[in-house]
A and B are shown apart, each in its own frame.
Chain A
């Protein structure tokens, strides 16, 4: 494997940032015709319509589900539905929990991944290759299947019901370490680290002033995806948290059980729980696309 990495490094030299080479001369190539835009509009409708439909239904009464044709315009019931949602689940608490959990996990994953990725990419130590192989092997291991002992562990510690039990199991990921290592191996010249060391900087200072600045683009991408993963997690929070202290996702499940005949209320919950990530998408959509297209991101 290391041979392959080596040749790749020598050809692309500066790493992920310029991996998708601009292969097209934009002026020369002809613009595609109506068919293409027609298809793009079809994709757009497929993406947007389910969400749009939910927004519309969240502003209407339950009786409107029986309408002959699905309505296209909003009604006036949104605030009433919202009140019902806020009365039946601790929505604000769930939102706060989700924000807190995802933020702490993101900071931890990004910090420890950068630290370990930097060591694997740029420092020499005995057992480095063996440990790296271990990290890669664990990428394919479904650790989620260890939930039963993890649950017993949390119960023994008395952490069930507290958000700590959701945070701790996700503080590090093998993927994060792998991702940062792949990025840093090409992006920092070894001479830079040596120069810093010769100038008398300690190892950690070198990491902080040479490694971290170089790693910043990859750290941003990793944060985005770690945050998303933590935010969408469902099974584990469902097990260890309870109805008075849920995350946004488990609160949705609660809402569904409480109002399984009141569809408009359930959809209101789904819609308002989507808003935070929608805001993130509008603000950082470009980075999200860039991250996915750099191909190194695992779903």
Chain B
């Protein structure tokens, strides 16, 4: 995939003026030699010049702050007073024994699960409905994507009104249904559900479209042969569609995790007056980080929170990656075994035994031995 540039470089090497004729050549055609040299310099340096802006800017505003956070976390450090005494891992010890930190972590996990799981199920369902020969495809796709263009801040405002405790739309409807109003902002689980609803509303359609694309790339022949084998629509969905879209589902889960663990706007604007509820019942970790840094002005401890969260996110990402890779290799093994079998059959040879045949043969052997 990268071998094609070599010939030109060789060609350049051949025409390079040798040391013996160097002087004459240069006097004959000074501009040409200069131009060649410039061109060679251009070839060598340009790639670095093209990637440099990214690396320089990313290093300055992305990587450096992240590493410097580690440095800050080792000191007493105040927003206004600046750097104080070196405390080593003291900030980390404080954070890890801090009840509010664990509370924020639990809230984040709870909100994340309440959004990720229903969202994934709903997105698969919506994608399956869209993955039919429907009329006005673009219209229906746009209709599920619409919430995505409402910004999280606006979503938070809209839903925190809908989930209002006294005059909110949801409680009004609940009362009409003869149920008691729910204290969406004061109780822990209801507040998590409300915040998860904001996330779900905005992202489900988006993820449904990603999954729809994955479903459409499942080979048609698989569906057809399953149909010939007598599989109904539901059975085909379970055995053909779902395995086919698994890599994409893992992708969706990973992006949802990285985003979900850094949730901020929704809980921040769910209650304007507090940082995550009067009892911190819906204070997420980034919200706690924000409170620690910019309200309590404790930069040192806030940096320690940032690094702990960083490790959690990277750790979960790594686990996701390893799990998806091991699934991937297992699938590749099965696929390659099937391929060799098919090839052997096509060539008119006896195919290598399938695992099931091996198992049956072993069983037969065992039984034979016993009798």
Interface residues of A (CB under 8 A from B): 2, 5-6, 9, 19-21, 23-24, 26, 29-32, 36-37, 39-40, 43-44, 46-48, 50-51, 53-54, 57, 65-66, 68-70, 112-113, 115-116, 118-120, 123-125, 128, 131, 135, 138, 140-153, 168-172, 174, 177, 185, 190-191, 194, 197-198, 202-204, 207, 228, 231-232, 234-235, 239, 248-250, 252-253, 256-257, 260, 263, 266-267, 269-271, 273-274, 277-278, 280-281, 285-286, 288-289, 292-295, 297-299
Say yes or no: is B334 at the interface (Cβ < 8 Å to chain A): no
Query: Scoring B residues 262 to 293 as 1 if CB is less than 8 Å from chain A, else 0, what string do you get?
Result: 10110011001100000000000010001001
Question: Would you call A69 and B62 a contact (CB within 8 A)?
Answer: no
Contact, CB under 8 Å: B72 / A148: yes
- In the complex, are the beta carbons of B161 and A2 less than 8 A apart? no
- Residues 198-215 of B contacting A (Cβ, < 8 Å): 201, 203, 205-206, 209-210, 212-214
Known A29-B133, A116-B51, A299-B206; contact A123-B58, beta-carbon cutoff 8 A:
no
Contacts A202-B42, A292-B206, A292-B210 known; A9 to B65 CB distance under 8 Å? no
Within the complex, the shortest CB–CB distance from B291 to chain A, in Å, comes to 12
- The stretch among B22-30, B139-147, B342-350 that forms the contact with chain A is B139-147
List A contacts of B46 (CB < 8 A): 119, 123, 203-204
List the interface of chain B (C-beta within 8 A of A).
Answer: 1-2, 4-5, 8, 39, 42-44, 46-48, 50-51, 53-55, 57-58, 61-66, 68-69, 72, 126, 129-130, 132-135, 138, 140-154, 157-159, 161-162, 164, 167, 169, 172-173, 176, 201, 203, 205-206, 209-210, 212-214, 216-217, 219-220, 248, 251, 254-256, 258-259, 261-262, 264-265, 268-269, 272-273, 286, 290, 293-294, 299, 302-303, 306-307, 309-310, 313-314, 317, 321
CA A115 to CA B53, docked complex, whole Å: 9
> Do B142 and A289 touch (CB < 8 A)?
yes
4 A-B pairs with least C-beta separation: A146-B65, A203-B46, A125-B47, A190-B4
Tell me the complex Cα distance, A286–B209, Å.
Answer: 12
B349 to chain A minimum Cβ distance, whole angstroms, is 26
With known contacts A31-B134, A148-B306, A274–B313 Cβ distance under 8 A: no
Task: Check if A9 sits within 8 Å of B1, measured CB to CB.
Answer: yes
- Known interface pairs A31-B134, A148-B299, A174-B58; A203-B217 also in contact (CB < 8 Å): no
User: Which chain A residues border B251 with CB–CB below 8 Å?
Assistant: 295
Point out which of B44, B50, B130, B303 has the most chain A C-beta atoms below 10 A from its C-beta. Answer: B50
Q: Is the CB of A285 within 8 A of B145?
A: yes
Check B213–A294 contact: CB distance below 8 A.
yes
